[in-house]
Amino acid sequence: MVAVGGTPIRDTTMADADARFWSLRSFLFVPGGQSRMIEKARTLAADAIILDLEDAVAPDGKAAARALVARALEEGFPASPVVLVRVNGCASGLLEDDLAQVVRPRVDGICLPKCQDAQEVLLLDRLLADAERRTGKPAGALWLVPFIESPGAVLEAAQIAAGAPRVAALSFGAEDLAAAMGIARTREGDEVVYPRAHMALAAHAAGRAAIDGVFIDFRDADGLEQDIRRGRSLGYTGKQLIHPSQIEPTNRLFSPDPEVVARARRMVDTFDAAVAAGQGVVVVDGQMVDRPVAERARRMLAVAAAHAARAGHEPGPGGTA
């Protein structure tokens, strides 16, 4: 149970997942084989860095990229509080070699690409438990983020999300999904609105965060903002990014407005006082506040508190900043 300002958060979805992960807004992909880009990533304000050993690395460059990422993790990422690694998937034949190299003190979690079902989650859970014992990390310290990128995975999303306690979020892969279905991607994204909504719903049903897919045209600032707003309306809590220029608008649009946060605080304080007096409904700023409304306000306060804590570069669970 998380406490914000002395008030316990009773919403089970917030209790089930690490509140810090729920507050992560921007997840910037960094190609694992590009030393210059990795160096630049150390200075960026993304909430999370994803060092990518999968799609961003050519087949003949996997071993070199793995070694480069391992060195980078040893050197650290002072500007980013959370560092994740996207390893190669279960069917690649490279997964165990990746984990042997990249599970180091500064890594906070592993992204599993093209996750197909809960059995793959269980496999990763066992492999990460072994890696934690090998490296001296506390049991369960490493987050796991399965990527939902195929029609079958969309249909299995609820089981994937609930597959292991270390699953912190589901991440939507619209580009691979569209390719698998033979459909063209558009700026508006109407072609993937159902699977996009379905995955977010599955994540929330399991008490996990939901990370939206990339917006490919990083020069289209207006398109990015529209895409972020659409994702937020579906319940997404953060977004994958492919370019540093996307960090600021993503962080801004996924952050609660200060006035809205202040109003949420009034709602929670007034509602709790009413409950203590034996009442179940109050009116705050002209709006009726009952338990569901109050719990939604508590979630916003928890996210805002986590943003404030992260401003001081609080580390993730896997290591120090």
Q: For 67-113, how does the pLDDT look when each residue is reduced to its tens digit (9 = 90+)? A: 999 999 998 888 677 999 999 999 999 999 999 999 998 899 999 99
44 dihedral zone (left: phi>0; alpha: psi -120 to 50; beta)? beta
Burial class (CB in 10 A: 0-12, 13-18, 19+), 222: exposed
> Residue range 2-22: average pLDDT?
43
- Tell how many helices (H) and how many strands (E) occur in the chain: 14, 12
Mean pLDDT of 110-129: 98
Instruction: State residue 163 phi and psi, 5-degree precision.
Output: -70, -25
Q: Residue 197: pLDDT band by 50, 70, 90 thresholds?
A: very high
Please, which pLDDT band fits residue 21 given cuts at 50, 70 and 90?
confident
User: What does the alpha-carbon distance between residue 197 and residue 195 come to, in Å, rounded to a whole number?
Assistant: 5
CA distance 229 to 188: 11
**Each residue's pLDDT tens digit, 28-48:** 999 999 999 999 999 998 999
3-state secondary structure of 43: coil
Mean per-residue pLDDT for 154-175?
A: 97
Which is higher by pLDDT, 10 or 193?
193
The burial of 297, by beta-carbon neighbours within 10 Å (0-12 exposed, 13-18 middle, 19 or more buried), is given as buried
d(CA 247, CA 53): 21
Q: What is the pLDDT of residue 23?
A: 87
Average pLDDT rounded to a whole number, residues 244-252: 96
Is the four-CA dihedral 77, 225, 298, 144 of positive or negative sign?
Answer: negative
pLDDT digits 0-9 by tens, 275-315: 888 888 888 888 888 888 878 788 778 777 777 766 654 43
Tell me what pLDDT residue 18 has.
60
pLDDT in tens, 209-229: 999 999 999 999 999 999 999
Quick check: 26 and 238 in contact, CB under 8 A?
Answer: yes
pLDDT at 263 over 70: yes
pTM of the model: 0.84
- 3-state SS string over 177-224? HHHHHCCCCCCCCHHHHHHHHHHHHHHHHCCCEEEECCCCCCCCHHHH
**Region of 142 on the Ramachandran plot (φ > 0 left; ψ -120 to 50 alpha; else beta):** beta
Question: CA dist 26 to 50, 51, 117, 228, 248, Å?
Answer: 10, 14, 26, 11, 9
Whether the CB-CB separation of 172 and 145 falls below 8 Å is answered with no
**pLDDT for the residue numbered 13:** 35
Taking CA atoms, 249 is separated from 65, 92, 218, 226, 228, in Å, by 30, 35, 11, 11, 9
Average pLDDT across the chain, whole number: 87
Q: Is the pLDDT of residue 133 over 60?
A: yes
Rounded Cα distance between 321 and 318, Å, is: 10
> CA-based angle 316:318:321, to the nearest 5?
55
Cα-based distances in Å from 255 to 20, 189, 226:
13, 23, 15
Q: What is the pLDDT of residue 295?
A: 82
pLDDT at residue 311, rounded to an integer:
61
What pLDDT is recorded for position 310?
Answer: 63
The token duo for 70 is 């391992």
